[in-house]
Amino acid sequence: MTDPRFSQSVIFICAHTPDGAMGIVLNQPLAKPRFAELLDQLGVEPLPPAREIRLAKGGPVDDNRGFVLHTPDWMTEGSLEVDGSYVLTANMDILKAIAQGGGPREGFLALGYTGWGPGQLDDEILRNSWLNAPADAQIIFDAGHGTKWLRAMAKLRIDPAMLSGDAGRA
């Protein structure tokens, strides 16, 4: 991908319909703000046993909006069940639950998202702009951001050194 915003990005596709697609970048961590600072900005008071979750840049679209990608053991009204293993929640209920020591077992907060118009992602996949790998909870939820792309490539048995910037069909 020549767009520097997506170079070596690992993106979890949350929705893909004829109307478009939406995903969350998994491997662009944010050093600031920390979760506690964000809660303070939002006026959410952490109560013991407070928890921390990681923050990431979810993509270039609507980057002041937060999305928590998490395990399905916690849901609220408005949560989007992506499949049986992953849920996306974009409301304050989840942040309050996490701040109070509850919420889902695993999750991270993404600021912003990636989006594609109708047919756009399909066209990009047909042009070999993206590689698809099955979802992997360890890649999604662990803190090893620097290796997520390499691990996703390894799941496909692809050596990045063998990739070319030119795409085509044989």
Mean pLDDT of 137-149: 94
pLDDT in tens, 5-20: 888 999 999 999 999 9
Q: Please list the residues that pair with 87 across neighbouring strands.
A: 70, 81
Structural domains for the chain: 11-162 (3.40.1740.10)
Q: Where are the beta strands (DSSP E) in the chain?
A: 11-17, 20-25, 55-57, 61-70, 80-81, 87-89, 107-116
Mean pLDDT of 70-78: 96
Kindly tell me if the per-residue pLDDT of 154 is higher than 80: yes
pLDDT in tens, 75-134: 999 999 999 999 999 999 999 999 998 999 999 999 999 999 999 999 999 998 899 999
Q: What's the rounded Cα separation, in Å, for the pair 162 and 111?
A: 33
